[in-house]
Amino acid sequence: MKIDLILDSRLSADELALLGSMAEEYGINGIWTASYLDSRDPFANLVLLARATRRIRLGPVAVNPWDIHPLRIATGLLTLNELADGRAAIVVGGGGEALQALGIRPEPRVGAVRECVEILKASRPDRALDYAGRLFRVKAYRPAWATATPPPIFVAANKPQMLRMAARAADGIMMSDLPPGLAAATIERVRVAAAAAGRDAGAFMFSNFMAWHVHEDRAQAVREARQWLGYRGLFRRWVITAFLCDEDYDIIEANRERIYAAAQMAEPVVPGVPDRILDALVENLTLTGDHGDLPSIIGHLRAMQDAGLTHVALELRQEPARSIRLIGEKILPAIGGQVQGEG
C-alpha cells in the first residue's frame, strides 16, 4: 500500500514545493492538494513542486465538472503532467463546498463525473476528440503537445452508483474516511463491477482519504481532530452506524452547522454533541494520537492494506513537516517500501 499525502491547498507554491520535496526524499508516493472554495488554484499551485521533484506523483483532489468545464480540467491536468514529466494524477468528484457557495446543484452527479472522466481519458495528442454527451460537448480537441505518459484518473466515490461508474470508466477510486470493514466491502464491489465490464480488476487502484492528527502532545492531536470533524465523511448514516447507533447519528445530524462551525472557530467542543460521540468519531474516522499511539495507528493502516487498499491518502494540517518526518521514519518502514511514480 502506497502512502500519499494531502497538503493544505492554502499553502503557497513555495511551501508545497518544500514539503513535497521533503516527502519525496522519504519515499512517499504522492502529494495531493484539495480544490476548496478559498484555496489557491490546485493546478497552478503544484507547478513549483512538479519542477522541484523527479519521482513523486502530484495532483488535485477532488476537482468537479460543475465549476470547471471538463475540457479546462483536461487542459490543466495535461499541462501539469507535462511539467511533471508524466507524474500528474487527478481525483474527479461530484460535489464540494464550492458548489454550495456558488448555488450550483450537481445533478445528475454520476453522469457529470462519468462524462468528465471520459473526456479526460480521451484527450490525447494523436487524435482529435469529438465528444457529444448529455451534459458536455467537445469538438476537435487535440492537445498535440501532451505527449507525456497519460495521468491516472481517480474518482471520488463511496456510494453504489458512483462506484459502479468508476469501475467501468476510471483508473481508480478514492474513498473517504471508511473503516477497514466498509473499505473491504467497497473494494470487493468495485472489483466485481470492473470484472463484469471486462476490465482487469487487479490493475484498479483503491485509495482512502484519511485525516492524520498525530503530534507529540496527544491533547493537541485530539483538539485538532475534533475541530476538523465536519470535513470528514461525517454525515453518512451508513458509515457512522458501523460504530455508533442511529440515535447518536441523529444527534450528529441535528448539530451539522455547529460541527462545521468548529473548524472556523478552532473549537474542539461542539455544543449539543456529547464528548463520547466526538471521541468515537475521532477514533473511527481519523488517525489521531501521540507517538505512543503509533503501534495502533500502524495496525489500523495494516488493516486498511489487508482490506485491499493500494493507496492511502493522509491529510496533514498542523506542523506538516514534522508529520512528513514521522510518516517517513516510522510509518513507511512498517507498511512497506514505496515505489515512487507508479500510480
In sequence order, what are the residues at sequence separation of 6 or more whose Cβ sits closer than 8 angstroms to the Cβ of residue 283? Answer: none
Task: Look at 226 and 340; give whichever has higher pLDDT.
Answer: 226
Please report which helix (H) or strand (E) contains residue 153, including its range. Answer: strand 153-156
- The confidence band for 341, taking pLDDT boundaries of 50, 70 and 90, is very low
> What's the rounded Cα separation, in Å, for the pair 208 and 217?
26
Of 155-169, 200-214, 261-275, the least confident? 261-275
Q: What is the pLDDT of residue 114?
A: 98
Write down the domain spans for the chain. 2-216+290-335, 231-287
Q: Residue 74: what residue type?
A: A
Give 46-83 pLDDT, tens digit per residue.
999 999 999 999 999 989 998 889 999 999 999 999 99
> What's the rounded Cα separation, in Å, for the pair 275 and 273?
7
Q: With 60 as the cut, is the pLDDT of residue 289 above it?
A: yes
Q: What is the mean pLDDT of residues 1-20?
A: 96
CATH 3.40.640.10 fits 2-216+290-335, yes or no: no
Cell of 130: 469529438
> What's the rounded Cα separation, in Å, for the pair 278 and 259?
10
